[in-house]
């Protein structure tokens, strides 16, 4: 662990409220929440951008909604088990409350014109935001020729693999892991 992260270790409540706030307002699914989380944490000075991408790669390799995994891993990195729980509760509570309110009180909410318009607008920016996140991750990576080739092959393989994407994910990870070791010997 670097000194910078120790110096700025946030407490349970500040982590909780950060994720609570993000989870309360973000519409559009996990891949949108991830860049928002990244920006928010970087702005607070809690975690460097490239460190977040390392966490994200690991979060991606485990089952579970990606936004939730990103939050628990970022929380753990920031403040150990306390931070993990803070991230978890922060992400889970707002939608849980919101969804029960909507289900009980506003059953026809989805049919209202302003709501439909809001959704159309909000979902229209999702491809742009996710692409920007991907490009930033590419920019911040420490590239080697082997990594570049593997990443290109992985991208093409997953695009054509359809429902086999997850097995392909692990095959790529395994091949990449072997190639990293072979280089160091």
Nearest residue (CB) to another protein, 10 versus 78: 78
Overall size of the chain counted in residues: 185
Q: With binding defined as CB under 8 A, does residue 79 bind another protein?
A: no
Cβ atoms of 52 and 39 closer than 8 Å: no
The candidate with the shortest Cα–Cα distance to 57, out of 179, 139, 141, is: 141
Nearest residue (CB) to another protein, 11 versus 110: 110
User: Which of 9, 12, 82, 168: binder of another protein (CB under 8 A)?
Assistant: 168
Give the per-residue SS3 of 9-46: CCCHHHHHHHHHHHHHHCCCCHHHHHHHHHHHHHHCCC
Q: With binding defined as CB under 8 A, does residue 121 bind another protein?
A: yes
Q: With binding defined as CB under 8 A, does residue 8 bind another protein?
A: no
Nearest residue (CB) to another protein, 8 versus 125: 125
User: Which of 105, 113, 145, 185: binder of another protein (CB under 8 A)?
Assistant: 113
CB of 13 to another protein, least distance (A): 20
Q: Is 68 helix (H, G, I), strand (E, B) or coil?
A: helix
- Please tell me the count of residues contacting another protein according to CB under 8 A: 104
Q: With binding defined as CB under 8 A, does residue 78 bind another protein?
A: no
The DSSP secondary structure of 86-139, one letter per residue, reads HHHHHHHHHHHHHHHHHHHH-TTGGGSHHHHHHHHHHHHTHHHHHHHHHHHHHH
- Residues 124-153 binding another protein (CB under 8 A) are 124-138, 141-142, 147, 150-151, 153
- Residues 17-46 binding another protein (CB under 8 A) are 22-33, 35-36, 39-40, 43
């Amino acid at each position: 662990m670097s000194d910078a992260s120790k110096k700025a270790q946030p407490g349970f409540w500040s982590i909780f409220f950060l994720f609570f706030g993000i989870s309360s307002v973000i519409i559009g699914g996990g891949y949108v929440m991830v860049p928002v989380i990244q920006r928010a944490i970087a702005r607070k000075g809690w975690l460097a951008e490239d460190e977040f991408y390392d966490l994200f790669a690991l979060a991606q390799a485990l089952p579970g909604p990606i936004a939730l995994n990103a939050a628990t891993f970022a929380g753990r990195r920031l403040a150990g088990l306390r931070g993990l729980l803070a991230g978890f509760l922060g992400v889970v509570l707002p939608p849980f409350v919101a969804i029960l309110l909507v289900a009980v009180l506003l059953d026809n909410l989805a049919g209202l014109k302003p709501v439909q318009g809001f959704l159309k607008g909000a979902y229209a920016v999702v491809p742009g935001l996710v692409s920007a996140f991907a490009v930033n991750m590419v920019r911040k990576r420490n590239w080697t020729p082997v990594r570049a080739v593997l990443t290109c092959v992985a991208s093409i393989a997953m695009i054509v693999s359809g429902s086999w994407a997850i097995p392909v994910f692990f095959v790529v990870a395994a091949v990449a892991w072997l190639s990293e070791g072979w280089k160091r010997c």
